[in-house]
Amino acid sequence: MVLLSLALAGCGGDHSILDPAGPAARGVAWLWWGMLTAFTLVFLMVVGLWLAAFRRRGHPVRSAAQERRLGLGWILGGGILLPGVSILLLLAVGVPAGQRLLPLPGVEAPRVIEVIGHQWWWEVRYPHAEGEVVTANHLAMPAGEPVDFHVTGADVIHAFWVPRLGGKIDMLPGRVNRIRLEADEPGVFGAQCAEFCGAQHAHMQLHVEAMERDDFAAWLEARRRPPPQAEGHDTAREAFGEHCARCHRVEGLAEGTGGPDLSDIGSRATLGAGVLALEEGAIARWLAEHQTLKPGNRMPAHDHLDAETLEALGAWLETLRP
């Protein structure tokens, strides 16, 4: 019982395929339950036959012709008919469930959100927004309508997977793959890179937030403008220009590439793709300890900067919110 409850504890939470929050995921979950039921029945039947074989005493006497017919029956029934019917059934349910994940023509083309996998963080782009809207490790989407995700990899193969919304899809460098997902209701969903992509693959989580359509429009609108700059913080801005701006973008201030966009970093839920919760002081802590918190990550250590500068940088970055 203890082992069972431990195992079942893995069935809940915001990464659970058994708790679907959209039509694509529901199709996959139903298929999963159906297969589990069918395979449990087959398992019990096999165990039953096996036990029955033990109980049987003596040998039945059959003629050679009877033996042959019995053998043929097993081959045709158990070897062709049973697998044939099982596979047809699986296809009949599985193919439509898979189709629902594909952006097939016919439906009015929904909104597109681009997701790019990096070692080891997520870049999210909103091409339909007027102006450039980019976020990192945080994906916002409207609820109650399908969204097409166009995914690719910047360096190695990653995979995009929001378990509660639907099946996963590979993110391949040099190719754009598409998947159509929909969230029934506003909510927050966990997402995780699902293709081993190097040492910090496990620390590559994405915070997915589905919102009412109007809230989503406002969310986008707020990010079309540079974040308001708080008074003071001049030393931090200067240090940022010197040490950080080549890799990080802050709208209206820096156009670096190679690292996450920090324009709305103060409004995020987590840092380092899920390594730290974003609370007061967390950014300064990340700056000082990120190579311990997420060893080998692609941001160089900044040991040559004194603690004061790192703290000033952290305090300023926390003010960056739309």
Binding positions for Cu ion, rule: CB under 5 A:
158, 193, 197, 201, 204
What is the C-alpha separation between 24 and 189, in angstroms, rounded?
Answer: 15
Considering CB distances under 5 to 8 angstroms, the limit depending on partner class, which of Cu ion, ligand HEC, none binds residue 15? Answer: none
Quick one: 97 or 273, whose CB is closer to Cu ion?
273
| Contact with ligand HEC (CB under 6 A) among 115, 197, 271, 288 | 271
**Other residues' Cβ atoms within 10 Å of the Cβ of residue 169:** 19
209-to-58, 152, 189, 230 alpha-carbon distances in Å: 67, 20, 6, 27
Based on the shown chain and the rule CB under 6 A, indicate whether residue 317 belongs to the binding site for ligand HEC: yes
Considering CB distances under 5 to 8 angstroms, the limit depending on partner class, which of ligand HEC, Cu ion, none binds residue 162? Answer: none
Based on the shown chain and the rule CB under 6 A, indicate whether residue 316 belongs to the binding site for ligand HEC: no
Q: Do residues 15 and 192 make contact, with C-beta atoms less than 8 angstroms apart?
A: yes
Q: Tell me which residues in 103-142 interact with ligand HEC (CB under 6 A).
A: 120-121, 136-137
What is the C-alpha separation between 243 and 281, in angstroms, rounded?
Answer: 20
Q: Do residues 188 and 173 make contact, with C-beta atoms less than 8 angstroms apart?
A: no
**Other residues' Cβ atoms within 10 Å of the Cβ of residue 13:** 12
Rg (CA), the chain: 27
| Contact with ligand HEC (CB under 6 A) among 273, 288, 312, 320 | 273
Quick one: 166 or 219, whose CB is closer to ligand HEC?
219
Question: Which residues are bridge partners to 198 per DSSP?
Answer: none
Quick one: 113 or 275, whose CB is closer to ligand HEC?
275
Considering CB distances under 5 to 8 angstroms, the limit depending on partner class, which of ligand HEC, Cu ion, none binds residue 263? Answer: none
What is the C-alpha separation between 66 and 103, in angstroms, rounded?
Answer: 55
33-to-3, 5, 16, 18, 99 alpha-carbon distances in Å: 21, 19, 14, 9, 19
Contacts of 72 (CB under 8 A, 6+ apart): none
Binding mask 245-264 for ligand HEC (x = CB under 6 A): -xxx---------xxx-x--
Binding mask 281-300 for ligand HEC (x = CB under 6 A): --x--xx------x--xxxx
Considering CB distances under 5 to 8 angstroms, the limit depending on partner class, which of ligand HEC, Cu ion, none binds residue 201? Answer: Cu ion
Shortest distance (Å) from residue 50 CB to ligand HEC: 52
CA torsion angle for 121, 188, 280, 214 (degrees, to 10)?
100
Considering CB distances under 5 to 8 angstroms, the limit depending on partner class, which of Cu ion, ligand HEC, none binds residue 248? Answer: ligand HEC
What is the C-alpha separation between 53 and 58, in angstroms, rounded?
Answer: 11
Considering CB distances under 5 to 8 angstroms, the limit depending on partner class, which of ligand HEC, Cu ion, none binds residue 283? Answer: ligand HEC
Q: Tell me which residues in 228-247 interact with ligand HEC (CB under 6 A).
A: 240, 243-244, 246-247
The tokens for 193 are: 């890179």
Based on the shown chain and the rule CB under 6 A, indicate whether residue 207 belongs to the binding site for ligand HEC: no
The binding site for ligand HEC (CB under 6 A) comprises 120-121, 136-137, 200, 240, 243-244, 246-248, 258-260, 262, 265, 271-273, 283, 286-287, 294, 297-300, 302, 313, 317
